[in-house]
Structure formats: structure tokens, C-alpha cells
Chain A
Amino acid sequence: MAILGSRVLRVEDPRLLTVGGTYCADVRDRRLDGAVHATYVRSSVAHARVTSVDVAAARILPGVVDVVTGADIDLAPMPGWFNPGMVRTHLACDRVRFVGEPLAVVLTEHPDQGEDAAEAVAVDYEQLPTLTDPMAALTSEVKLFPEVGTNLVCEFGEPAHAGPDALDGCEVVVRRRLVNQRVAACPLEVRSSAAAWVDGRLHVWCSTQNPHAVRDALASLYVVDAGDVAVVAPDVGGGFGAKIDLHPEDLLLPWLARRCGRPVRWVESRSENLLAMVQGRAQVHDVAIGGRRDGTIEAYRLSIVQDAGAYPGMGVYLPMLTRSMAAGTYAIPVVEADARAVVTTTPPVGAYRGAGRPEATAAIERAVDLFSAEVAMDPAEVRRRNLLPRFDEPLTTPTGETYDCGDYPAALERVLAAAGYDELRAEQRRRREQDATLALGIGVSTYVEVTAAPSGGSEFARVEVRPGLDTGAGIDSVDIVVATGSSPHGQGLATAFAMLAADELGVALERVRVLHGDTDAVPRGSGTMGSRSVQLGGSAVRGAALGVIQQARKVAADLLEAAVDDVVHDAAAGTFQVSGTPAVARTWAEVAAAAERDGKPLAADHDFQVSRPTYPFGAHVAVVEVDTETGDVRLVRLVACDDAGRILNPLLAHGQRHGGLAQGAAQALYEQVAFDAHGNPLTATFADYPIVSAAELPSFELVDLETPTRVNALGAKGIGESGTIGSTPAVHNAVCDALAHLGVRHIDMPCTPARVWRAIRETGRMSTSGS
């Protein structure tokens, strides 16, 4: 069966297209009958002592069942990642540290009543100075956690020091501060969860990327056995990393349910989501790149300051990935990277598509372009001269990361050819000679990233083969159930894993059903994040399928009255036969029925384990047009070559690449979470946050490349985040390239019209009238 590698339409689609998905807010379950609705009361200031929270007026409003403040909560607070002293309580108690931080919650019969009641809670604040700039936070007298005494959460590596460094002795050195700005994940489905205690068990529904982690976290927090916690991830409307962590609002629901003796449901508003869901990126980079005039790069240094937001979480771990991937695709002999994470009076930072790796690529790709400009060489040519040559054996970089395999020069050449790079440069020259108002910019990036980071991982699968229940499907029908610990939220894994099982077993795709997102039905799992599910989850499915084939061979041997060793499974025919006598065969249906009669239904578990991550790579070319009079930037073309090893289903892989390309381009051109000097959010609704729409983007041009990995038998690397990682610097470089002839050296992302216009004016080369 040649189904693997072919474009198979999704099994998930019919339901989603006809009745729509059942997202957490849509769940109807008798265990949630009579639920109250939770509405959080949130801080309206960025940094303050909370002197009083008056709930009296709220309590008497219609439908209010209860009002809870931080003082009421008796749950163990959450220690900060890498700095346990930076503690967060589930509801703020005597101090708030970002606008939007929850400090009370009202429970009402209907959600509308919750909005009304939340407004009636009166909070008195004694305001404190705010810190929205991570660089200022490093040295500021203002401390978010006075008991800790510093805003520095943690440090990785040796910080850069004044004086001689690795770049001394280079003919050419460029140093620059770059900002990798904070962005919002913006899944279309906001956060939502529900909790109910039923007969001593805690039942939770949560819009999460990892139901098993939710189960374990709640079991720990509420001091109950994990077996007494049942978590369901219903259909999840996007995660992008931001739904990996549990937020306090989710963690608190079981406590509220216990307190009021009723189930509790919570659905936030988009405004709350933009205030209080973990946000992405937020790194400041000091890059230094040095080499020779002939274009050879000899040394690169990256100093990272990670803005952790108000409470250190996943965001302070991500710079470790940025550091480890700092060398990128290049054969630079000396690469050094260090990182410091610091708290600020802003929302906490977490994982967002790429999670630490886009930052590494953005830094080095911009640095390579700055170096190219300094040595007056074409940036594609500089890359050619410095890329690591093709390698099929593991290769360790100066940062200690061991890449599995890669062919970076092939990716670069393919994307340049597909883009028509030479023609683009010629068109750019023509426009410059004519002093065209619409400047053309061409940006190149090469990237390598790490999936199933930092060190591989494990995933569970079970494959069951049952005689078919649907008699209309024929007497030879079987029903295959695949249970996976992966937790898809748009990736199409039900289709991908059905393909894997169907291929291995030799059954029709339509006979396979994939089960996920229910911790009672699937005993363990690692969830879906970090582009791990095909390589880990898919490998587990394959392993379980092989296991069930072994069981089936034994049953078939009895039916065929042969020795097990003489029984072969013919995947193409979907039968079991005695080796050498294909006419004497048993079908899956016959074997499954026999196994049921024996009281041992065919079912195999597999825990796939691998201790190494994989390293997808690629190269992107972006073409932009910049109106030098208005600063407006239009992305005209985005050409992307992405190599993720062997591709299971190109339909799904291309979809993942498209989504990543859009998010990456959006960061370069439009999106930014912004605050004023007092820490007030300026982008807290979709009317203000410039989430990218179809009107801003072109159709993408994809170039395929497959360099299978040997890390797993599928040959698969991850694909979900690659698009984001390569596109941001390609688009960013394109904008800077468009204006290079006017003397603009760099513009920080996002390259908004205002920034572009200002950068052009600051060179003094164009009059303000633009004529």
C-alpha cells in the first residue's frame, strides 16, 4: 500500500465542516449540568500593592453564587521556573504585577451576570513604578519581588564582558542590538475549561495541547491520585504553544467547584486572552559578527536578554534553546551565546510557535545580512560561502548541539532558483536606477531548527483490531482503534496516524479510528507541541501496529495449523499466510474474531522512546515592495524550501508550512504586543492587535526537499514550526534590503510603515515631500 507519502484528505473534515467542532465552550455533558460560570476580576494596573478587594457590591447582584479573592485560596502557590522565590499565587493577593492579572473571581448562574458582577468588585491599589523594558529591569531599583532582591531570574552561559572578545582580530566586525519583539499567540479559540467533582473523581475539560500534563498537574495540586483525575481535551481551536502551560485560571476551577459544590465552567473573552494568556518571543539580542573581507565569517556572538514577564514560566527556559541553536546553518568556528531572563510588569512569556528557535535564526540571519552589507557582498553569496556542507552523519556545533543530518546548500540553491533570485536582483537594480518610489527588497534566510527538543522524548500508542461491527462493510471488515498520547489541535494527526496504521496493517484507511485527548481512554501521553507528534507519536503507532501484527500471527498460526515462524503477514493483501502458500490465508477479520473467541482481543501497546531530537532545515526567500514615500510594505512573494525528512502526507505538511509562514511574516511586518510607559496594554483587542489577515499575505510558493533522518524508523523530523522560523528573518531582511540603497542599515521588527518612513527620513537622503 503506497499510502504513505501521498496526499490524503483529512478524516477530521466532514464533522468540522458540517456541524462544527465541539470546543470546550460547546461541551454538553451531564456532569456539567447545573454548572456555575466563572468570571475573573483582573488588575487594571501593572504594578501595585493591593490594599483592599471589596466584593460586597458584587455579592448582591442577580445570579451571583459566590465571590472569591486571593485571601480565600488555600492552594500551594506556584514557584517561578528557575527561581522558586518568584512565587505566583493563583489569585493575586497583596501585589499585582501585570495588567490583567486575576485577583478575584465571581461565580454566577449565567455568564452575562458574571461580566456585570466582575465590574462591581472594587479594588484599591497603591501603585508602584512599572517596568516594561527588560533591559531597564536588569538594573532597576524597582523590584517585582523585593524578597528576592533582583529582577534577574536566571543566567545561562558567560555574559559578554567589556574588553577583548572572540571577535578581536577579525578584519570586519559588526555589532548591533536587535529586538525580537513580544507577540501574541492568538489561537482563534480563547482559553476555556470546566471542572466537576463526581463520586470523588475530578473531571476536567480543557482547551489544552497536553491533557496528560493537565491531569498530572491537577493531581499534584489537589493531592489526589492521578487515576482520580480525568481530563478531556475536546476539539481545541489552535494552541501554537500557548496552551501547553496551565494558567492559574484553569488550575483554580477544581477548587472553585469544590467550594461551591457545583461544576464550574470558564470561557475568557478575547480581550482577556490578549491580556493574560502567555505571550511569545520578547528577547533582546546583542549580536556581534566578525570575519574577513572575502566574506568568510569567523566568529559570532549572541547575548540574549529574555523578558520573562511578571512570573517566570516556560519563557525563561526558551533562551536555552536559542543558545543551543545559535550557530544556525553555518560553519563558523567560534560561536558563543549567553542568556539572562528578567521579570517585568507585563504578562508572562511562554512558548509560541518555534519557542526559542525563531529567535536564534532571526538573530544570526540578520547578523549575516549586516555582515554582508559591511563586506559589500550579496547576502546569498555570503551564505553560500559559510554554510555547513551537506552532512549525513551527526555533526556537533560550537554550541554543543549535535545536528542529525542536513543539506543546507541544497535548500539554499533550490529556493534561490525557485525565486528567480538573479532576475529579482536585476529588477531591483532597474528600479534603483530609475529612482522608483516602489523599492523592491529581496530577503534570504537559511535555518535549522530542533524538533522534539531538547532531547527526543517518548510517546504512547495502542492499536486494537476488532471484528467489524458495521455489517454493511462486508464480512471481512475489521475496526481498528488507534489510541495516541499525542493531542492534535489542527495538525490532522487522526488522518496521519490512520494512514500509518492502515499502511502497516494492510487495511483500508476508512477502517481506522484514532482516539486522543482523553486521559481515561489513553493511559499516558506527551501531548502535541514542539513539532514532535509524527516522529514520536507516529513511531509509537507504528510500534503498536507491529506489536498487534505479532499477536495476530500467533492467532493465525493456530487457525492455519502452522508454526508461528512460518506465518507471514502480507501487508499488501492484509492477510496472514503460511510462507510459500499464499492461497492458504486468513484475513484480519478471521484472526480478530478468533482472538475474541479466545478471550484475548488483538491489542498492543507501544511506548516509543528516543533520546535524540531531529533537525529540520530550509531556506526562504521573501520579496517585498516598499513605498518609500509612505513607508508601506507589501509582501509580494514568499518562497520556502523546508526539509523535514520523510513526509507522511504532503497535504498536511504543506498546511503546516503555510500556517508557519504566515505567522513568521506577520512578526516581521505587523504584530507586536505593546505597552505604554505605565504598563498599560495598547494591543489588548483584535481591533488593536494587528493579527494578520488574508489581505496582507500572498499565496506561498513551496519547494520540497526530503532528507530522511536516521533518528527514527519513519525518517521523519518535525514540520510544524519550520515555516515560522525561516520566514521572519527572510521578510525582515527583505525590508532592510529594500532600503539599503537609501542608507538604511537596519529597522527593528515589526517593520511598520511608521518605522520604515522614519528610517528613510533619518538617512536624510530623501526630502520629506518625497519628490
Chain B
Amino acid sequence: MSISLSRPRALAFSLPAIIAILPFMGACFYIFRFSISAEKGVIDGYSIQAYIDLMTPFFGRSVWLTLKLAFVATVIAMMLAVPLAFLLTSLKSPLARRCLTVTILLPLILNLLVQAYGWILLLGPSGVLNSTLKALGIIERPIFLLFNETGVLLGLIQTSLPLAVFPIVSSVRGLSQEHLEAASSLGASHWRTFVDVTVPLLRPGLVGAASIVFAFNASAFAIPLLLGGRRVQMMGVAIRDMISPLFNWSGAAAAGMILITLTLIVLVFSSWLVRVTSEKVRG
């Protein structure tokens, strides 16, 4: 690489961003300090009591549920996001492109409460889907798609789709035509091109998008509350409950630290895994 960024220049380029994220780092540190506070409502003294109090089987179940749901939601979201990205980049008319962009962004715009209401109208026990199926005689009792893990999964996928699609789109735009043309001229079928050429080329973008989606889903609390009927105890919900009405802020901070650590572990591990497998392929 003949363009290498000199150290001072790299630092200069990075500095503004680092300054921008400093307040957040401050907040992180504050949260950490809170988690080792001896008091529940204010920062005072040092103690790891908050962490110890969390070590219950119930919390363990909550952790597992969070990781599981976040993972499944991420996988499905990626499976939907890639085709969407392909579609978006293949559309010819700018109007169609803009419409699709806006459609994909809708979940970020609309108030979550209202979206949950929409889902209830559609998928609720007396919603459109169940009523139609009943009328057609296909089912007797309603299918419960909401107020359980399915409902939460649906909500997680919906809200993380936009986060996944656009980074992939950026990567797709960067795909070099030559690679794809070469593959097809060599007679590779669409699937082969996809698996052997497109995916490896997109890999960094895919991993990046998946990381964002996973992190986002792991911390979700509004969706399990609204679409899970509160029966799905993800960690975000537990944290929110500790903030109020339990007013156990140090416990909430401790749970937050655990959540962040777990997410980081998953992210680091998955990027390592991807790197190792892709090296094997290339090597």
C-alpha cells in the first residue's frame, strides 16, 4: 500500500471524532462508577453488592433470553436486509429508489407505541390475520403471534432492518463490477456467484451491519414491553424496572455493565471468527 497514513495525520483525522464521543465515554464511566456504589440511589462509597444482588437464576435466564433473541433477530434481519440492499441498488428510477428508502426507514420514524398498535390490529388475537383465518375456517382458536417471543422477534427485526440495510448498501455500491462480470462470464450460476464472489466481497460490510444490529437488539426494552406483553424479560426491561419503580440505580448500572460486556464479547468473538474462517478460505 503506497498510501499509508502517517501517524500524526491519522491522529489529526481521528481527533474530532474522539472529542465527539468523549461525553459518552464520560457517561459510561459514570455508569460504571454507579455500579460499584454502595448506595442504591446515589453514588457513595464502593461496593460490588449491586453485582452480587444480580446473580440470581432469574437474571441468568434474562441474560440468556436477551442473547438468544438478539442473535435470532440479527440473523433474520440480515437475511432480509441483503435482498433489500440488492433491490435498492438495482432499481433504475430515482423515484422508486426514494420510495423504497423511505419505506425501509419508516420503523425508525414512527412512534413505537403507535407501531405496536398497528401490529395488534393486524396480528392480535382478534386482528385481521386471525379473523381472516377464522372466517376461512382454517383455525379455531386464535394464533398468538403477539405478547410472546414471536411478537418481540418481529418488533426487533422491524426496527433493526433499516440499520442493517444501509451499511450493506454502501458496501454493495463499492463492489467492483469486474468481479461479478468475471464470475458470470465464467459460467457461474447466480447462486454460485452469490456464495463465492459476492458474499466474501461484502463480508466486512456484512459483519459491520450485523454488529450494529446485534448491539441494538440486545439493549431493546421498549419492544419487549410493548410487543412482548411484558412476558419477555429481556435485560433492557430488567434495567428499566430497576431504574423505576425500584429506584435501584446502582443495580441498573451493574446490569447495564454486564449487558455491555456481553455484547462486546459477542461482537469481538464474531469478528474474530469471521476473520479466521475467511483467512482459511483464502489461505
| A, B: real partners | no
Binding site for B on A (CB under 8 A): none
Binding site for A on B (CB under 8 A): none
